[in-house]
Amino acid sequence: MSLFTKIRDKDTPRSVFVINARKIADMLLAEALCLLPCKPRTVTTPVDGSTYVGMEMPDPEKELCLISILRAADCMADEFSRHLPGVATGKILIQRDEETAKPKLFFSKLPSDVSKCVLYTSSLPLLRAALD
């Protein structure tokens, strides 16, 4: 059974739901981090002093922030901060305006520098609204 099937099944025990929701959050974070701008970095390996040219992502504690869209993304926040414990975090709350049916920003608390950030939510309509 797939991860999504397990977390959407009403008969899934809570412990199985939590484990699978964490796995999904891990995969989403890994994919998001792959999209960040990286630069080449040469390191010396323990094998005969050989070198290896790999990639280095921005330093999460200095150059990155995680911004969650409240309510929908709260389920992922703990898992993300477990992987990036020193990263700056922010939150925004977007709701649909009852009169115009357009997204409206109700609340935001963001770090001072959000030049490289990962905006996350579990709701695609909320993400679309945040990007508009």
pLDDT at 125: 62
d(C-alpha 12, C-alpha 75), whole Å: 17
pLDDT at 122: 66
pTM: 0.67
> Which is more confidently placed, 30 or 45?
45
Sign of CA dihedral 27, 103, 36, 63: negative
Rg of the chain over all Cα atoms, to the nearest angstrom: 18
Q: Can you name the residues that pair with 41 across neighbouring β-strands? A: 54
User: Is the separation of the CB atoms in 118 and 66 below 8 Å?
Assistant: yes
H or E element in which residue 101 lies:
none
> Which is more confidently placed, 111 or 11?
11
Cα distances from 12 to residues 42, 114, 123, in angstroms, run 46, 38, 21
pLDDT at 51: 95
Question: What is the percentage of the chain residues whose pLDDT exceeds 90?
Answer: 17
pLDDT at 18 over 70: yes
**What would the mean pLDDT of 95-124 be, rounded to a whole number?**
78
pLDDT tens track for 31-86: 888 888 889 999 999 988 899 999 998 888 888 888 888 766 677 778 888 888 88
